[in-house]
Structure 1
């Protein structure tokens, strides 16, 4: 199951990357005085490198809600940067399990900071593979809080009760797919 999820995400990421084109100026120079809007790191097109954590999430049908939340929180560029990051990526089903109206409220412009705090709670600075997690350990998140790790006797890893159900390596870190949205206390 984990290998199937990983394979699907990688294939989808590569398919999307292959479909993205780049264009160059005919003169080969860049006009810095251009009136084109500036874009962050997420606007850089790169068909040669491995996909980053955002590109992988975008390519996953199971993470469309997460991608929409990243956009609403203006957090795409931050996770497109070099990293390295460990991202706990809730599935669409995990978002669907939130109390009714929660996601709709959080994605309103006036709640952007609160949504970003929640998303940052899903990010660790550095790369942590499943084998790096130790039962009972608390790990600091990008929002300055901490998540608690649980490893059961079968070796399954849980983050604040959310089970890691798949893992995908990215060019700027690692993604652990989880079955729960982590909400800070």
Structure 2
């Protein structure tokens, strides 16, 4: 009787043991595949991030020789990291090196004072706009707004865009004017324009 019971117990347990063994085997076989997929996904995200950085508006400015002062100022002001990331589109009206050199001595002393980085940051933000404004959009917006298109900057100031013949002119709140001298340097996260004066001093 005992031998018969033992036989039935073995007969019942054997399929269960076999199925558990298969389940463990399946889990060990699929685990490495999942790990490889996660690693691959991480590499793709890193590659995408690197692409965004290398083709950002700041990178385009770095490759434009006449904007080296603007780039060094953006680094000093701590703006580079945010302008290199994706997620938002930026339009930058970047003053040339000559434009920075032409600032009056009092303004230079104020914005390049290491103890007052906020002042430099504010000045640069007066040249940055959230959104993607290429020259075609600017021209059509000027025309659609009776010759004067108001642009809100990240610095909380306004630039007025208008036309003077074929030129696009920007006027800040103090009445200072700058001209668009190079346009539509396209980037992954926005667009870069070069202007000939520092605005919102």
The TM-score normalised by the length of structure 2 is 0.64
Give 1:124 deviation, angstroms. Answer: 0.9
Q: What is the match of residue 162 of structure 1?
A: 178
- Counterpart CA distance in 2 for 1:48 and 1:140 is 25
Q: Give SS of 1:46's match.
A: helix
Give 1:48 deviation, angstroms. Answer: 8.3
- Give CA deviations for 1:39-85 in whole Å, capped at 9, x if unaligned: xxxxx972587611111111222111111110111111121122201
Structure with a larger share of its residues in helix: 2
Cα 1:72/1:50, change in 2 over 3 Å: closer
Cα 1:128/1:102, change in 2 over 3 Å: same
- Counterpart CA distance in 2 for 1:68 and 1:142 is 19
- Counterpart CA distance in 1 for 2:111 and 2:120 is 6
Q: What is the match of residue 164 of structure 2?
A: 152
2:116 aligned with 1:111 = yes
Give 1:166 deviation, angstroms. Answer: 0.8
- Counterpart CA distance in 2 for 1:181 and 1:45 is 31
> What do you get for the CA RMSD once the two structures are aligned?
2.3
May I ask how many residue pairs the two structures share in their alignment?
A: 142
Structure whose alpha-carbon radius of gyration is higher: 2
Q: Give SS of 2:192's match.
A: strand
Alignment gaps of 5+ in structure 2: 1-38, 40-47, 172-176
The ranges of structure 1 where at least 4 consecutive aligned residues each deviate by more than 6 angstroms after the TM superposition are none
1:127 pairs, out of 123, 132, 138, with: 132
2:171 aligned with 1:143 = no
Q: Which has the higher contact order (CA 8 A, sep 6+)?
A: 1
- Counterpart CA distance in 2 for 1:47 and 1:78 is 15
The TM-score normalised by the length of structure 1 is 0.69
Give 1:148 deviation, angstroms. Answer: 0.7
Q: Give SS of 1:181's match.
A: coil
CA contact 1:151–1:158 (8 Å) conserved in 2? yes
Give 1:100 deviation, angstroms. Answer: 2.6
